[in-house]
A and B are shown apart, each in its own frame.
Chain A
């Protein structure tokens, strides 16, 4: 046993081990808490992340293995939840149970907008490489452009676990900033007359089509990109629960209790990785810049592809729904609706934009799976 002296006791206090880095991280944690509570920016994630950042940056707290003990509470959440790739798939199970693919099934060509809106992923990937990030790090940063938080966490935990904190915070922050980032780009790349284009009401979708969709999607994706199986299979089984209408209890559990629990563990685990030593680096700032680049180019990709499709389509589509190809569901679709209504008060694009919006989620999953195929 260590000899008990006043000095050894004082050495065990947090306050005597405080560094300026800890204080900066408290400020970051409190800022995230403020944004979550006051501005309501992705509060379900930013609130637990912010609080975890705040507490793990108290010196010597036995939460994240600071004293060398891997059995610390948040370290256990992180190890079994994130490192073992459990939490992101569970979140996708809940998302699948919440998602209605009807608008996409009724107008299948909208799925191509979800593919084109992955442009930002690859632009940011090259941007990160130019800034001396490794291939795995660049892929993890690029996927921020997919605007899909759980996929970003899933990919980063595998390819660049040391960058998980800044990547997750950038992904969730920008997802909440979609209504600020997208509209100027949408107005810049579309003409007034394009924004006024009215689209015909979509056809009704049968229950059988909705049941077949998760089965065919799993079949196609898992055969071509098996690396995305943990996320895709959970997403689709959640959706099958929903559309089958025979397992209401499971659907309800996936939509509510399971999703909420997984969200809590995801938030605190990600926040716990953001210690002063890992987060306060110039690279974290670069990740935020690259995340913004990724988001912007994904928006551009969707908009321009919608305009390209109009060159070949008899019945024109409103290019504003292209920006909804980034997967921030349903925020990006709502932004399409708002900008569309500003151009033409009778023009309601929400249901049309939901199609590319959910297609964007699938596109990001495939992009992440492709990265894993090369880099794992």
Chain B
């Protein structure tokens, strides 16, 4: 039973970190593309020079 328990806990805790790390990356990507700062930068870039 203990070997099973170690497996369950090891994989379980690992999965928690992996899933949340993936969410962190997805939030960073979304932030880079959709944050108000990113939007204002892209707006400046597309501005027609006078």
**Residues of chain A having any CB pair with chain B under 8 Å:** 104-106, 108-109, 111-112, 114-116, 118-119, 122, 125-126, 129, 135, 138-139, 203-206, 208-209, 212-213, 216-217, 220-221, 224-225, 359, 362-363, 366-367, 370-371, 374-375
Interface string of B7-20 (1 = CB under 8 A from A): 11101110111111
CA distance A238 to B5 in the complex (A): 34
A368 nearest in chain B by CB position: B12
Residues in chain B near residue A212, CB distance under 8 A: 30, 34
Asked whether, in the complex, the Cβ of B8 is within 8 Å of the Cβ of A220, the reply is: no
Known: A105-B31, A212-B30, A213-B30. A367 touches B23 (CB 8 A): no
Asked whether, in the complex, the Cβ of A366 is within 8 Å of the Cβ of B20, the reply is: yes
B31 nearest in chain A by CB position: A209
CA distance A220 to B19 in the complex (A): 7
CA distance A99 to B31 in the complex (A): 19
Residues in chain A near residue B8, CB distance under 8 A: 125, 135, 139, 370-371, 374-375
Asked whether, in the complex, the Cβ of B18 is within 8 Å of the Cβ of A122, the reply is: no
CA distance A333 to B25 in the complex (A): 23
Residues in chain B near residue A370, CB distance under 8 A: 8, 11-12, 15-16
Asked whether, in the complex, the Cβ of A367 is within 8 Å of the Cβ of B35, the reply is: no
Asked whether, in the complex, the Cβ of A138 is within 8 Å of the Cβ of B16, the reply is: no
CA distance A116 to B5 in the complex (A): 19
Expressed in whole angstroms, the minimum distance between the Cβ of A318 and any Cβ of chain B is: 19
Q: Could you jot down 7 A-B contacts, CB within 8 Å?
A: A108-B23, A108-B25, A111-B20, A125-B8, A135-B8, A209-B30, A216-B26
Residues in chain A near residue B30, CB distance under 8 A: 105, 208-209, 212-213, 216
CA distance A363 to B22 in the complex (A): 12
- B37 on the A face (CB < 8 A): yes
Asked whether, in the complex, the Cβ of B36 is within 8 Å of the Cβ of A104, the reply is: no
Q: How large is the interface on B (under 10, 10 to 19, 20 to 34, 35 or more residues)?
A: 20 to 34
CA distance A225 to B31 in the complex (A): 25
B28 nearest in chain A by CB position: A108
CA distance A109 to B2 in the complex (A): 33
Asked whether, in the complex, the Cβ of B35 is within 8 Å of the Cβ of A363, the reply is: no
Asked whether, in the complex, the Cβ of B20 is within 8 Å of the Cβ of A203, the reply is: no
Expressed in whole angstroms, the minimum distance between the Cβ of B10 and any Cβ of chain A is: 9
Asked whether, in the complex, the Cβ of B27 is within 8 Å of the Cβ of A122, the reply is: no
B29 nearest in chain A by CB position: A216
Residues in chain A near residue B16, CB distance under 8 A: 115, 118, 363, 366-367, 370
Which of A104, A109, A212, A375 gathers the greatest number of chain B CB atoms within 10 Å?
A212
CA distance A126 to B49 in the complex (A): 66
Known: A125-B5, A126-B5, A209-B31. A112 touches B12 (CB 8 A): no
Residues in chain B near residue A126, CB distance under 8 A: 5, 9
Asked whether, in the complex, the Cβ of B35 is within 8 Å of the Cβ of A203, the reply is: yes
- B42 on the A face (CB < 8 A): no
CA distance A122 to B15 in the complex (A): 13
CA distance A153 to B22 in the complex (A): 27
CA distance A138 to B34 in the complex (A): 43
Expressed in whole angstroms, the minimum distance between the Cβ of B27 and any Cβ of chain A is: 4
Known: A108-B31, A374-B8. A206 touches B26 (CB 8 A): no
Which of B21, B26, B30, B37 gathers the greatest number of chain A CB atoms within 10 Å?
B30
CA distance A49 to B36 in the complex (A): 46
CA distance A126 to B31 in the complex (A): 39
Asked whether, in the complex, the Cβ of B15 is within 8 Å of the Cβ of A225, the reply is: yes
Asked whether, in the complex, the Cβ of B19 is within 8 Å of the Cβ of A224, the reply is: yes
Asked whether, in the complex, the Cβ of A112 is within 8 Å of the Cβ of B1, the reply is: no
Known: A135-B5, A370-B12. A225 touches B19 (CB 8 A): yes
A138 nearest in chain B by CB position: B5
Asked whether, in the complex, the Cβ of A109 is within 8 Å of the Cβ of B39, the reply is: no
Closest 7 CB pairs between A and B?
A370-B12, A108-B27, A115-B20, A108-B24, A208-B34, A122-B9, A216-B26
